[in-house]
Structure 1
Amino acid sequence: MYILLPKAQDGLWSLAGKLTSEPEFLEKHIPARAVPVGQFKIPKFKISFDFEASKLFKSLGLQLPFSTEADLSEMVDSPMGQSLCVSSIFHKSFVEVNEEGTEAAAATIAVVMCRSLPAVPPMKVDFVADHPFLFVIREDVTGVVLFVGHVVNPLLAG
């Protein structure tokens, strides 16, 4: 999960616009290396979404599964001779972030330097989601975005 926190308190919609209009935006803003984090605070939240998808699928041309001519009997255990078709399709999704769903992570950074230079530890970055933010869940190998959402008031979340 990636959490995108705009710098400006009221920057959520501008950030959302960039994310949706610039395909490379997310990739350009994911750090190439682990970033040491000091204070890290995000609210607990649960967001759900559901809709009846039959009309959408039909409008996209998917008609056969909904017709009486469809034969889905090999996909579902049913009495022999009984013709099965899809009556409706419902979609429901949710994302929940809480203490149990959060794991502590540690990062190791190797620093290569000349012997005459003193080691400079990387600066820690605080991440406090105290104003509206976006979250993105994506599959990292392919880069496919699976879920996008936003929290408008983190003080009320959870």
Structure 2
Amino acid sequence: MDLRESVINQNDFALGLTKQLLQTEGKQSTLVYSPLSIHVLLSLIAAGSKGPTQDQLLSFLKSKSTDHLNSFAAELVSMIFSDGSPSGGPHLSFACGVWVDRCLPLKPSFKQVVDTSYMAALAQVDFQTNAAQVASGVNSWAEKETRGLIKEVLPPGSVDSSTRLIFANALYFKGAWTEKFDASQTKEHDFHLLDGSTVQVPFMTSRKKQYNLYVSSIFHKSFIEVNEEGTEAAAATAGVIKFLCLEVPRTVDFVADRPFLFLIKEELTGTVLFIGHVLNPLAG
């Protein structure tokens, strides 16, 4: 499967998941998440699973085999996620981690996939006596990899003595506008809510073209901030396994004064990094 086909499948997965989230978690509130972070995390879990679990994951991820998923991850790590900040592009980082209980034998083939395709840090830990400490370590790892934006991807009580594996992914993006907004032009205006009422929120204003953007449980947290300087976003995804078995070609006016959907895409391949929607800018 070539990269283009993998990206199409990943974006299909992203749009399907977004539809579900907008009908549930995001029905009444602002939402942001990283479909790519979740996709990579589930791909990593699929690589270490077999039987019905692996079949269900492959179906959900719209992929024919774990080999395809592993190849796609390797392409992302080597090509898409090269940090562009030294050359003036956006700052982009991507990291995976695996925490394995010491009592579990680790297959050499799985370790090779973890090392070569996902470039994941792998640690052997003791969940049976140090579950809380391991969870704290995963949260510290996610906080470091997202530059402090995601502080607790694993909530209290999510890891206990029955946990045997934790898979995690962290994604960080920070890009500056090619043409920065003038902060003095930011003014308060009406934003129209779904119920017909309005709230006063600060609007950035520019007449220039703006470009940025060159398992027992799954936990996901995301953050995004857009201001006059640019955009900063981060996401972290963790899977806990327990012992149970856009660029516009013409000039248009864009006034974001009503609920809207947004995407951050990697320009080279079209891979969707973040998706969200804003219902009320004053609601975090």
TM-score (norm 2): 0.22
TM-score (norm 1): 0.36
Q: Which structure's relative contact order is higher, taking Cα pairs within 8 Å and 6+ residues apart?
A: 1
Larger Rg over CA atoms: 1
Of Structure 1 and Structure 2, the greater helix share is in: 2
